[in-house]
Amino acid sequence: MPSHSTAPQACGVWTSACALQIPENAIPSFLSFSLSDRTTAFQNLLYHHKIITTVSDSSFSSSHFSQPPTTPPSPRSHKTSTVFKMVADALVYHPSVAHYLRFVATTVGRDKVLRLIQYFARFYSWYLLRTNATTASINPWDAVKKQLGLARKVMRFGKNIEHVKAAAVAADAKSMDPVLRYAAIGRQLGYAGYLTFDALTLPDAIGFRKSPSTKTFTQQAQRFWAMGITFSIAAQLYTLYTLKQREQRIDRKDGEGVVESKRIKIERATSQLQLLSDFADLTIPTSGLGWTNFDDGFIGLAGTLSSAIGIYNQWRKTT
């Protein structure tokens, strides 16, 4: 029977012995050894079971015999941590997360999300004003509209070069339908002009240098934007017309005709969606130039709609 002073040691040995499957009748004789002998014997035992790599492993010392055994984690806590890890792994490695990361890695994707929030804020601040809300309720949404507009202006700085190059590529595409080719050139040049004049307003917008020409630059930017959208609308209307002509020539009894019919259906849906986005966007520059008289609520909703369509199209491209 071990003394009270050796009880913790006995408990430690008993726990370790059970883990290593040592016969119970060997434990009393084992406890009769001195502390240093027990340490050496137990290290040899661990080495035999390949728990430590060397007999003199410093990670195991006589302090293992003098400390009471640690309480193992309860099965419930272990099960809970396992469940949490499974849920975390399912979320982190889900394909939608990878798709989202590809989407936000694109400048267009981030811009469309900011644009959606910006134009919704424009609509909602107008709505609050019309419903006689307090100034404290309107100001946050008005600030979101202005700050995100400025952030997007900075993000698209220098993007005009991209549209100039796209116009040059369209001009060299001799195999393209002439109508679509000229429409593409006009659209790209319109967007290039819009972004060029929009960039000229940036120093004034960020407060770096105030300029009396900012208003003129803004109007010119809106004219070029309206020009680009108009060419885009013309291209979509012509595309829908050609799709209708192709559909009339299809022999639906033929297997190839069925495939062609499905292809036309997809192209028509894409063109109609882009046409809706263009008409919604056209309300913004035409209102800014005074050509139409839409209020901020209508413009906000139109911008929100076209932004949502842009997000959808960009999401599909990053699939």
Q: How far apart are CA 262 and CA 268, in angstroms?
A: 10
Q: How far apart are CA 248 and CA 246, in angstroms?
A: 5
Q: Is the pLDDT of residue 298 over 80?
A: yes
- Mean pLDDT score of the chain, rounded to an integer? 84
Please give the average per-residue pLDDT across 29-33, as a whole number: 54
Using 50, 70 and 90 to split pLDDT, how confident is the model at 258?
Answer: confident
At 41-93, the pLDDT tens digits run 656 655 555 454 444 444 444 444 445 555 666 666 666 778 777 877 777 78
pLDDT (0 to 100) of residue 251? 79
**% of the chain exceeding 90 in pLDDT:** 64
Please give the average per-residue pLDDT across 255-264, as a whole number: 88
Select the more confidently predicted residue: 156 or 37: 156
| CA distance to 193, 255, 295, 319, per residue, from 287 (Å) | 19, 49, 8, 35
Please give the average per-residue pLDDT across 220-243, as a whole number: 98
Q: Picking from 73-77, 81-85, 109-113, 149-153, which range would have the lowest pLDDT averaged per residue?
A: 73-77
Instruction: Return the HEC string of 185-236.
Output: HHHHHHHHHHHHHHHHCHHHHCCCCCCCCHHHHHHHHHHHHHHHHHHHHHHH
pLDDT (0 to 100) of residue 97? 87
Please state the pTM of the whole predicted model. Answer: 0.72
Task: Report which residue type is found at 58.
Answer: S
pLDDT (0 to 100) of residue 75? 64
pLDDT (0 to 100) of residue 253? 78
Q: How far apart are CA 290 and CA 141, in angstroms?
A: 24
Any idea of the CA torsion for 255, 259, 265, 267, to the nearest 10 degrees? -150
The residue written with tokens 């890695």 in the block is: 105
